[in-house]
Amino acid sequence: MDGGSALYNPKTVEEVFRDFKGRRAGMVKALTTDVEDFYQQCDPEKENLCLYGFPNEHWEVNLPAEEVPPELPEPVLGINFARDGMQEKDWLSLVAVHSDAWLLSVAFYFGARFGFDKADRKRLFGLINELPTIYEVVNGKNKVKTSGTNHSSKKSKSNSKVRASESQAKYSKGQPKEEDEGLDEEDEEEHGETLCGACGDNNATDEFWICCDICEQWFHGKCVKITPARAEHIKQYKCPSCSNKRTRPS
């Protein structure tokens, strides 16, 4: 996947910004006016999919580039896996956030590739920053909301090092609690013996953990690329192993 770079290779600040706007417009279209089509294309039963925006304001859901490294930075991988485990609005917001990050990475990739100096980088970011983010467009906001709400259906465990706020809940294994201020001693013992399903280590006292709602295994958040903030928006978490299984016995 070349992200359209074969057709358009911006070299000036103005050209990079025009590229940014075209890609952004395509992704905004996918997440707003074409949202039903986009939703259907992101089937969790398929392989890891990415949302691409192109300079001609078109969008596409596709597999990542096969070459390593790719021609351009790649969008976040596997957006389809979380589709059915979250409310549609939350899922679209999550994709929007990652899309914003990808657009910036592409723009500054061009800036680095063509030797933009400090003044050019500042001017480029200034132009980009005048536009609302995709997240803001999708949510109809001018500012990114710092949420104080708690999605209590997710089982996770954390400590003060990874808690974003006092409103973020902690949960013990197999027994979710909605507004627990901390783990009691019995839970601490249980978590101390828990092994990560990905790496096999525990480190329970200073790591963010998340539990698969299917196999009920615990994982370090970093091992499965789930942050505490993202966990708050996931209503049913499936670990990579369960996500890749087409069918499961009842």
Q: What is the CATH number of the domain that holds 204?
A: 3.30.40.10
Length of the chain: 250
Burial class (CB in 10 A: 0-12, 13-18, 19+), 66: exposed
Same domain, 124 and 203: no
- Copy the structure tokens of residue 9: 């290779």
Residue 175 lies in a domain: no
Q: Which of 3-7, 37-41, 178-182 has the highest mean pLDDT?
A: 37-41
pLDDT tens sequence across 172-228: 333 343 444 444 555 445 555 677 888 777 765 567 788 888 888 888 888 888 887
Sign of the four-CA dihedral 132, 134, 136, 140: positive
| Among candidate residues 98, 116, 139, the one where a domain is terminated | 139
Domain that holds residue 228: 194-249
Residue 27 lies in a domain: yes
Residue 231 lies in a domain: yes
**Which of 168, 20, 39, 54 has its CA nearest to residue 95?**
39
Please compute the mean of the pLDDT values over residues 82-86 and round it to a whole number. 92
Peptide bond into 55 cis (omega under 30): no
Same domain, 107 and 205: no
Residue 152 lies in a domain: no
- Copy the structure tokens of residue 138: 């999708």
Residue 146 lies in a domain: no
What is the tally of structural domains in the chain? 2
Pinpoint the alpha helices (H) of the chain.
Answer: 13-31, 35-41, 88-113, 118-129, 134-139, 185-192, 228-231, 240-243
- pTM for the whole thing? 0.56
> Of 132 and 182, which is predicted with more confidence?
132
